[in-house]
Amino acid sequence: MTAKESALIIIMLFGVLATLFGPQVQNAFFNRIELKGVVESQTRILDPDTISDANIKINNIDIQKLYFQRVDITNTGQRELEDLALSYDYSKDIDNFNILAFIYNCSPSSRAMGATQLTAQTPNYSRLFKIDAFNKLNGISAIFLTNKKNKLTVTATSPELGTEVFQSNDQLIY
């Protein structure tokens, strides 16, 4: 077999493979489904040493320590995700833990995405979101204020994505 014949066979084989597997390859590269999640470490912004004799209450809860934590979720894939559920869950191993405040910002607006905050089963430990249409490069940032340090797990679920889990890697050192 000559070099020309070998090259022709390789080209034909490549053509057959491209015809058979082209759509799968195209979907893998150009229709990629992907979320990027960043769960920042909790930062203590208030402790007994800084407040001395002050009495601080948030939502009728006496506060000795106050922690701040930010979570960013971005659609870095090539496709819209429909019916995306985001569940933000703190460990239930910490007694008397409370989410004191939950603030979120959607880009674009929550109305444009169809973002709705739902009632969580354990409101002291979790928050739940549903987003109708989470397009490419859309994002949601959530900020939590809590009374204790705790481990946060964020679970994203949609028909296209399946389930993706993001966690904070905090060591619970007080």
Q: How far apart are CA 16 and CA 143, in angstroms?
A: 52
Task: Give the pairing of strands 81-90 and 66-75.
Answer: unpaired
Does one domain contain both 50 and 4?
Answer: no
Whether residue 155 is predicted with pLDDT greater than 80 in this model: the reply is: yes
Q: What is the pLDDT of residue 153?
A: 95
Label residue 173 by pLDDT band (50, 70, 90): very low
Does one domain contain both 84 and 160?
Answer: yes
Does one domain contain both 69 and 102?
Answer: yes
Q: How many domains does the chain have?
A: 2
Domain range spanning residue 12?
1-31
Contact 140, 165 (CB under 8 A): no
Does one domain contain both 11 and 97?
Answer: no
Give a yes or no: residue 174 inside a domain. Answer: no
Give a yes or no: residue 12 inside a domain. Answer: yes
Full-model pTM:
0.76
* Per-residue CA distances from 151 to 19, 52, 85, 139 (Å): 49, 27, 20, 22
Q: How far apart are CA 103 and CA 109, in angstroms?
A: 14
Does one domain contain both 24 and 45?
Answer: no
Does one domain contain both 131 and 157?
Answer: yes
The rounded mean pLDDT for the chain is 84
Q: How far apart are CA 36 and CA 172, in angstroms?
A: 24
Does one domain contain both 160 and 145?
Answer: yes
Q: How far apart are CA 53 and CA 34, in angstroms?
A: 49
Buried b (16+ CB within 10 A) or exposed e, 113-130: bebeeeebeeeebbbbbb
Does one domain contain both 76 and 110?
Answer: yes
Does one domain contain both 101 and 111?
Answer: yes
Does one domain contain both 15 and 60?
Answer: no
Q: Give mean pLDDT, residues 126-140.
A: 91
DSSP state of 120: P
Give a yes or no: residue 173 inside a domain. Answer: no
Q: How far apart are CA 86 and CA 74, in angstroms?
A: 12
CATH code of the domain in which 118 resides: 2.60.40.10
Does one domain contain both 22 and 48?
Answer: no
